[in-house]
């Protein structure tokens, strides 16, 4: 058997400690599968004294992770610090410059700096592996880069954030408000104390930018991902979605269109009979559509010590085997710069909820706004008349261009009878 693969780990949080645990617990199995032993020999974290539930005996300790990446006598540096800049970026740069392979779970870093890091890794002849950066334990990077390599990918989409999926599931099943479920999710550890990266869609957008590059052979373009979160989704909207035959999910979706590469993250309604509608709680799922395989769906836990560490270890085993491939599926010099398709060019159906003073002529005024922008109403619901409170008017539209939908809603919001900003949620056909 070949000499052991020597590994350094920067960051010993949940995933870092989980990675050590997997490598220790399955050492013999991993050696057989990788063709050589894999040994952690150096680690770095903020504090030494913390009990992480795993033995760190025999590891060389570095207070400075960048110094470890630069100086440790290792073959692979695993970056699990997090953050799009700072020490995480410096660790990867130092490792690559030193001719060491890099494994990372850092989607934010790669979404922002992936192109330059991939170019540096390719120039140094080392691997930059990141299976754990997208959807936890789901092997979607391998699926797109290897398993589906013979297909032209036409659409990739999925539930990419477990926190949001958990919140939307709990709201529907337990009939609770967004604020109540978010507070519960924070207590359970599903959501951070400052949850904006998750609930405002940025975590999913980081992952989608990487998926789009893998799927379409384009440069990573995080700034071109249109992003909305789930804060505005109410229990009312979830109930109406059920009535119309839909479930609300935060989806990330990327496809190549006649207007350019469309990358978007937003809450949307999907038909109840769609497979992805049944992915619940903190689970993630990704669907990749290829011209020869049609739809392939990958589902599993999208976060946590076990699933994410599993993906990290799989990347390390690939390096042990000597398996190397390009970071985003093709050489960096062949990644295309794709024009971004603006959200205004999106075409689809829409759900709209209006809160209005129930008075004569309201429906006529609303219908006129849709007529004037050539947006066709599919169906409409109006609840019981109230003399003292605003009442909801709920409708869905036929397929139209988003620019026309936005102009329609601007007209409606200006009506005296409309008492709050309209709520709009896109309806995804997923075909």
Q: What is the DSSP string of 315-357?
A: HHHHHHHT----TTSS-GGGPBP-PBPPGGG-EEEEEEEEEE-
Report d(CA 218, CA 135) in Å as an integer.
20
**Three-class SS of residue 131?**
helix
Task: Specify whether 272 is catalytic.
Answer: no
Which residue out of 89, 100, 207, 249 is catalytically annotated?
207
Its sign, for the CA torsion 408, 414, 415, 420, is positive
Compute the radius of gyration of the chain from its Cα atoms: 24
User: With the CA atoms of 144, 147, 148 and 149 taken in that order, what torsion angle do they form, in degrees rounded to the nearest 10?
Assistant: 90
Q: Which residues of 290-310 are buried (b: 16+ CB within 10 A; e: fewer)?
A: beeeeebebbbbbbbbebbbb
Report d(CA 346, CA 341) in Å as an integer.
8
Its sign, for the CA torsion 221, 225, 231, 236, is negative
Pure H helices in 373-419: 402-413
Report d(CA 178, CA 233) in Å as an integer.
7
Report d(CA 333, CA 113) in Å as an integer.
15
DSSP symbol at 180: H
Six-digit token pair at 333? 């010099």
**CA dist list (Å): 218 to 345, 371, 397:** 20, 39, 33
**How many other β-carbons are positioned within 10 Å of the β-carbon of residue 75?**
20
Among 177, 235, 157, residue whose Cα is nearest residue 423: 235
Q: Which residue has the tokens 């066709």?
A: 376
Six-digit token pair at 43? 């680690």
What H or E segment, with its residue span, contains residue 87?
A: helix 86-97
**Active centre residues (catalytic):** 207
């Amino acid at each position: 058997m070949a000499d052991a693969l020597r590994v350094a780990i920067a960051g010993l949080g949940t995933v870092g400690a989980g990675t050590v645990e997997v490598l220790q617990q399955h050492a013999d199995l991993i050696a057989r599968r990788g063709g050589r032993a894999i040994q952690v020999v150096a680690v770095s974290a903020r504090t030494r004294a913390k009990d992480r539930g795993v033995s760190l005996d025999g590891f060389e300790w570095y207070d400075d992770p960048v110094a470890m990446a630069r100086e440790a006598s290792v073959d692979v540096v695993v970056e699990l610090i997090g953050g799009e800049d700072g020490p995480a970026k410096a660790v990867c740069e130092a490792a690559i410059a030193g001719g060491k392979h890099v494994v990372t779970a850092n989607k934010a870093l790669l979404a922002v700096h992936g192109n330059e890091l991939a170019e540096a890794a390719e120039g140094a002849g080392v691997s930059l592996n990141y299976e754990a950066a997208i959807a936890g334990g789901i092997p979607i990077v391998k699926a797109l880069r290897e398993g589906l390599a013979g297909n032209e990918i036409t659409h990739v989409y999925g539930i990419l954030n477990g926190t949001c999926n958990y919140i939307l599931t709990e709201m529907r099943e337990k009939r609770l408000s967004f604020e109540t479920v978010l507070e519960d999710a924070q207590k359970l550890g599903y959501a951070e104390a400052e949850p904006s990266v998750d609930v405002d869609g940025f975590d999913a957008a980081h992952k989608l930018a990487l998926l789009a590059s893998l799927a379409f052979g384009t440069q990573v373009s995080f700034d071109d991902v249109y992003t909305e979160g789930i804060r505005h989704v109410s229990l009312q909207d979830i109930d109406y979605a059920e009535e119309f035959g839909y479930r609300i999910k935060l989806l990330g979706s990327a496809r190549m269109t006649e207007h350019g590469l469309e990358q978007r993250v937003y809450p949307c309604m999907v038909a109840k009979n769609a497979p992805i509608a049944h992915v619940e709680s903190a689970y993630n799922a990704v669907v990749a559509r290829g011209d020869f395989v049609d739809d392939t769906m990958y589902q599993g836990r999208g976060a946590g010590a076990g699933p994410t560490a599993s993906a990290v270890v799989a990347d390390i085993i690939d390096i042990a085997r000597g398996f190397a491939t390009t970071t985003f599926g093709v050489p960096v010099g062949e990644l295309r710069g794709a024009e971004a398709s603006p959200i205004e060019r999106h075409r689809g159906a829409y759900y709209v909820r209006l809160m209005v003073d129930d008075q004569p002529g309201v429906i006529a005024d609303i219908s006129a706004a849709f007529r004037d922008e050539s947006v066709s109403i599919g169906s409409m619901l109006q609840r019981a008349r109230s003399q003292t409170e605003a009442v909801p008017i709920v409708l869905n539209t036929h397929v139209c261009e988003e620019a026309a939908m936005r102009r329609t809603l601007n007209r409606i919001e200006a009506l005296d009878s409309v008492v709050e900003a309209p709520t709009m949620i896109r309806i995804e056909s997923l075909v």
